[in-house]
Amino acid sequence: MSVAAHTTVRATSRRRRRTVGQQARRADVLTYVGLLLVLIFFGAPLLWILSLSLRNQAEVLAATLNPIPSAPTLDNYTTILQSAQFPRFLLNSLLLSLGGAVGAMLVSVPAAYAFSRLDFRGRKGLLLGVLALQMISPLVVAFPLYRYFASLGLLDSMVAVGVVYVAILMPLATWMLKGFFDGIPKDLDDAALLDGASRAVVLWRIVLPVARPGLTAVFVLMAILAWGEFVIPYILLTSPSELPISVGILNFQGTYATNATGILAAGGVLAILPAILVFVVLQRFIVGAFLAGALKG
């Protein structure tokens, strides 16, 4: 190859690398712009609620668009924390969240294992059906549930609401767990079955220990989703002693005549704070579990 040809090849190679680098930088810029827009879309309302919770009544009534209060105060939080109902609301949310997540896991684990390991007639159709159930908004079924539960005398029952939580969370939990089970080699199951173990033993002693990080991650996400559920408890529960925090904070709007908006905003911040803290503390574990499941798959 002549010197001129060699120089031309090198120049072409440099131009290609430069073009690829520019395309990669453009893609990175577009990615960050998209993430920024998503952050603004979801974060701006949360920041505004936080701002309202730190305002006194005069600033709330002024209705200024300034996100930073001129005289921040914690009086709204003090009022909420001194309320006798607030600890009860938190306890109810904790019970419903844990109960709903545990119940969803108990139903979803064997269902996900069956979808992952067994080949039966109608499998794909049932999987699509489970996904379709997840797409149904709780608002669509809330009023029929109210009529049905009223006919059974189960209104204002936390146990009944917990059962509905299980039904709402189960489709998503089943899909997520199936992904984790798909990442576990089937050879482990086959070896145990050849040794005489039953499917239940294989699931309990072999699959579940291997999928423990995924199980924990799904359980945490189900509990967080149950914590923020509003429509179902709002429709099916009426007694203040049975309300979760997502619905109970509405009681503060009619209870306090002074700065009800700021107090309601403070209650909203305190309601979402436990879920945010749990996710922040376990973020690396949850993301690592899902990445590990994706890589195995």
Are 248 and 136 found together in one domain? yes
Helices (H), the chain: 3-53, 57-62, 75-81, 86-117, 123-135, 138-152, 158-182, 186-194, 199-202, 208-210, 212-227, 231-236, 245-248, 251-255, 260-281, 283-296
In a domain, 58, yes or no: no
Average of pLDDT values for 123-136? Answer: 82
Are 147 and 255 found together in one domain? yes
In a domain, 183, yes or no: yes
In a domain, 78, yes or no: no
Summarize pLDDT for 28-63 with one digit per residue, the tens: 788 888 888 888 888 888 888 888 888 888 877 776
Are 191 and 284 found together in one domain? yes
Distance CA 189, CA 21 (A): 46
Distance CA 160, CA 180 (A): 30
Domain end among 36, 53, 70? 53
Q: How confident is the model at residue 295 (pLDDT cuts 50, 70, 90)?
A: very low
In a domain, 163, yes or no: yes
Contact 168, 137 (CB under 8 A): no
Are 227 and 115 found together in one domain? yes
CATH at residue 201: 1.10.3720.10
Percent of the chain predicted with pLDDT > 90: 19
Are 133 and 36 found together in one domain? no
Distance CA 237, CA 243 (A): 6
In a domain, 23, yes or no: yes
Are 130 and 171 found together in one domain? yes
pTM: 0.81
Summarize pLDDT for 237-254 with one digit per residue, the tens: 988 889 999 888 887 766
pLDDT averaged over every residue in the chain: 82
Are 46 and 134 found together in one domain? no
Cα of first residue to Cα of last residue in the chain, in angstroms, is 47
Q: State how many domains the chain has.
A: 2
State yes or no: pLDDT of 294 exceeds 50. no
Q: What is the pLDDT of residue 6?
A: 53
How many CB atoms are located within 10 Å of the residue 1 CB?
Answer: 8
Are 49 and 93 found together in one domain? no
In a domain, 79, yes or no: no
Are 241 and 283 found together in one domain? yes
Summarize pLDDT for 209-233 with one digit per residue, the tens: 888 888 888 999 899 999 989 989 9
Closest alpha carbon to 115 in 187, 56, 180? 180
Domain of 196?
84-296
